[in-house]
Amino acid sequence: MVLPAMQRVYDKVDFTLSFIGKPTDNDGVACKHGPAECLGNIIELCAQKLYPDPKTYLGFTMCLTRDYKEIPQRSLIEDCALEHAINFDALNECATKDDGAYGIGMLRGSVRRSSDVGHAFPGYQSSRSNFLSTSRPA
């Protein structure tokens, strides 16, 4: 498991979440499984940004992954946030900051890191940051 290993070596390892996807020409990101996957990735990146301790953000990420088909449903995000002492409102603010541009920017950076080390996959569904407003938890 990643979390137990990271708890032992986090002070010696620069661990960064990096997701696969494809930057689009309109400053968006195409995720293989569509906008819901992109939003889930953004939420996980926000958790890492707001809570840099790996046991917090990786615990949260693993909690979401247990029920990955439910991402980005608000109830799952809230439950995992509560379980790992993460402020749901702060996550939501991060993901939707600047009409979603902030979160998309973090996701684009993450996708670029993956691409830079040779992880690129064809067949992505294109999306733009406007999906954030339609997928935003109510």
29 dihedral zone (left: phi>0; alpha: psi -120 to 50; beta): beta
- Written as six digits, the tokens of 25 are 């020409």
Pairing mode, strands 29-30 and 22-23? antiparallel
Q: What are the tens digits of pLDDT across the range 14-66? A: 667 777 788 788 878 888 888 999 999 999 999 999 999 888 998 999 999 99
Give whole-number Cα distances, 55 to 13, 16, 58, 73, 76, in Å: 13, 13, 5, 23, 19
What is residue 122's three-state secondary structure?
A: coil
Threshold 0.75, pTM exceeds: yes
The H or E element spanning position 78 is helix 74-83
